[in-house]
Amino acid sequence: MRKNPKNPKEKKHPRIRRRVFAYLAAFVAFVLALLWLMQIVWLDDFYRWNKTRQITQAADAVESNIGNAQLSALMDRLAQQNDVCILLLDSDKHVFLSSDDIHFCLIHRMSSRDLSFWCSMIPENGDTLTELFNIAPFGGDQYNSHQFRGNVPKMEDDKKQSLLCARRVTLPDGTGGYLLLNSIITPLDSTVATLRTQLMLITIIVLLGATLLAMLISRKVTRSIVETSEAAHSLSRGQYEIPPHGCEYREMAELNDTLVYAAKELSQVENLQHELIANISHDLRTPLTMIGGYVEMMRDIPGEATPENMQVIIDETQRLTSLVNELLDFSRLQTGALALNPAPYPFTASVQAITDRVSRMVQQNGYQVVFHPAAQVKAIADEQRIAQVVYNLVGNALTYTGEDKTVEIHQEVIGKMVRLTIHDSGKGIAPEELPLIWNRYYRTQETHKRAIIGSGLGLSIVRSILEKHNVPFGVESKEGEGTSFWFELPVAEG
């Protein structure tokens, strides 16, 4: 059995469920990685930075309050709160104030020579001197981790560091002094080990929970999208049913409503296409039948080759030519291949010529076309295409006019525009059908009537030509009172 080949789009465009799952998984991985970096990798560096910042802030507080009588109490409080030792020396390196709150305090165990050395190292531009010193581990140099087996402390694991901060200050009497602060930076190995164990458990739990949550969210969010996508496969056939979970979210509900509307429109368009083909076939078949019938009659019956019979054949041939030409124009307008050449031309005279020509064509059947021009006007448009518009609108009016078989054409100038209105006295168009009559393939519910002139495609061609001219047009109708089609063109000056 032959297997269906895989759709290449599946590789190029991954499924939305997989993508949502991947995004959620990537976010969880990023959060966990950031947590490991902050709590394990960068913990020592962050701790040292924070300790340095605390000592610097304490130094700023002492320097700002050197003239305060309660400076000693402030130093004690800062020492206790920040776990630091504070030493304030005068210009001769003698103790001015002191606060000792930590073991292994470096500055309180320095000799006078060491104090003088570090005071001389303080920058004179007001910057703070910061130094780190290692404190010897327990047992001196006797401990060697390589002499033992198992999980034993490394030689450097219990090394503490002493942080020294020093700056020059001005004492209350105006003389120079020195402010030294010292704090112990305790190794965080045991803390890191504890955090590492906790983070491993947290990582496992979070990964499992995140995987389940990502699968749930991706399935929940994408379920309606997938169902809608699968249901849309039948849209080309004009069929669409809202899937079971297609309205869980507002956006999906709006999309499904749009697809339902599109399915109805496609179904309607398909039906109208079939009707249009049937109507055009009828319009083509009628003149062909008449031509064939008259030709056979003239061949088989002596004396029937009369001018009248020949004129019938000529008229039906012209009708066929007109139908074919309008079908070609309709196709060109739909594809945008029909170019316009707008220019000033005698609009009133052109409409009068069309009216006279149509009147001669239809007067033998009892129809009449009456033109009421208010004045001779020139308009700016493509003369040939606007003549086609007038011809089609008049032909449409003749097809649906009333028992008086009269079509009236009115011309009036409104501002800088000239309006032409073509009115028939037919049954009119129902209000609910008025917005639809310009749509492609649309026709009224009235049984198909053979056009008096033209092909019956007139309104579609009229709409396309007027839209390409970018001019206003419309239709007004009342049932029982007839229908009026109108359009406007810009008046040419001079």
Domain boundaries defined on the chain: 42-134+160-187, 339-490
Distance between CA 319 and CA 80 in Å, rounded? Answer: 110
Averaged over 263-283, what is the pLDDT?
69
3-class DSSP assignment, residue 210: helix
Per-residue pLDDT, 452: 44
Cβ(178)–Cβ(122) below 8 Å: yes
Say which residue, 279 or 318, is predicted with more confidence. 318
When mean pLDDT is compared across 9-18, 34-43, 125-134, 274-283, the lowest value belongs to 9-18
pLDDT value of position 358 = 85
pLDDT at 487 over 90: yes
Contact 393, 454 (CB under 8 A): no
Spatial CA neighbour of 319 closest among 450, 178, 170: 450
The residue with greater pLDDT, 127 or 275, is 127
Edge-to-edge strand list for the sheet holding 417-424: 368-373, 406-414, 417-424, 482-490, 473-478
pLDDT of residue 282: 62
pLDDT confidence of residue 450: 46
Helices and strands of the chain, counted as H and E runs: 11, 12
Q: Which tokens belong to 480?
A: 């029982």
- Of 139, 178, 138, 180, nearest to 163 by C-alpha is 180
pLDDT band at 5; cut points 50, 70, 90:
very low
Q: Is the pLDDT of residue 252 over 60?
A: yes
Share of the chain above pLDDT 90, in %: 15
- Cα–Cα distances (Å) from 198 to 40, 191, 195, 228, 470, in that order, read 11, 11, 5, 44, 73
Q: What is the pLDDT of residue 138?
A: 46
pLDDT for 154 equals 63
Query: Which is it for the CA torsion 234, 238, 241, 246, positive or negative?
Result: positive
In which band, very low, low, confident or very high, does the pLDDT at 10 lie, cut at 50, 70 and 90?
very low
CATH architecture of 339-490: 2-Layer Sandwich (3.30)
Task: Of 216-220, 283-287, 375-379, give the lowest mean pLDDT range.
Answer: 283-287
Beta strand residue intervals within 38-197, DSSP E: 84-89, 95-99, 129-135, 160-170, 176-185
pLDDT for the residue 3: 47
Question: Residue 345 has what pLDDT?
Answer: 94
pLDDT surpassing 90 at residue 216: no
Computed over every residue of the chain, the mean pLDDT equals 79
Rounded to whole angstroms, the Cα distance separating 323 from 451 reads 10
> Who wins on pLDDT, 443 or 90?
90
Over residues 96-116, the pLDDT tens digits come to: 888 876 666 888 888 888 888
Query: What confidence score (pLDDT) does residue 419 get?
Result: 95
Span 300-314, mean pLDDT?
Answer: 81
Q: Which fold has domain 42-134+160-187?
A: Beta-Lactamase (3.30.450)
